[in-house]
Homo-oligomer: A and B are copies of this chain.
């Protein structure tokens, strides 16, 4: 079966967009979406890569031009955090813990953490929303986890086991070729695999998979809110 494995950290805005697009294409492209929580800071450091924001013009292009347009184009709720970059290590350890103890709820939990960073409730700052003290309430959203489950996840997320797993797996991913996120490894029905980097490779990815690219909404509709001409 076709699968696409998304290696991600909720700190990455382009990964937010890629994640939305992947979820929309799961049905039309008929693939299994595999989620792998990682720590971007570790991947950047181990690969010798630097955040785009460290090049002044790249930061301006990213914040003023590319990200707002991609948010509109992919119809993704998006508010750039007042403080950035944020340290999402606790988020990613928590998601890594959930991957172990409740893999069937990892996607919903991932939605919640992406939301905490990029679409926090009115009046809440992203940097507050990603403090561990805010996690119990977040993980209880719509009854996703019970109080006991949350307690267990919180405890596990600060364990050496989970800390080491996140660190080791992020390091291993760099050995496999990654240098930033979104890093996606697509596997075709004929067994071939291929890595893709960036939220902007879905069109050639469709080509390689033998699938149809129908725009970011996955159904050929144009995004709403086209800027007036």
Interface positions of A (Cβ within 8 A of B):
47-49, 55-58, 60-61, 65-66, 69-70, 72-73, 174, 177-179, 188-190, 192, 194-198, 200-201, 203-204, 207-210, 213, 215-216, 222-223, 226-229
Question: Is there contact, CB below 8 Å, between A226 and B204?
Answer: no
> In the complex the two chains form, what is the Cα distance from A190 to B189 in whole Å?
46
Q: A223 to chain B: which residues have CB within 8 Å? A: 207
Question: Which residue of B66, B179, B203, B229 contacts A188 across the interface (Cβ within 8 Å)?
Answer: B229
Q: What are 16 A-B pairs with beta-carbon distances under 8 A?
A: A47-B56, A48-B56, A57-B177, A61-B179, A61-B195, A66-B201, A69-B194, A69-B204, A73-B203, A192-B227, A198-B200, A200-B200, A200-B201, A200-B203, A207-B222, A207-B226
Supposing A204-B69, A210-B226, A229-B189 touch, asked if A55 and B48 sit within 8 A by C-beta, the answer is yes
A42 to chain B, nearest CB (A): 14
Residue of B at shortest CB range from A213?
A: B215
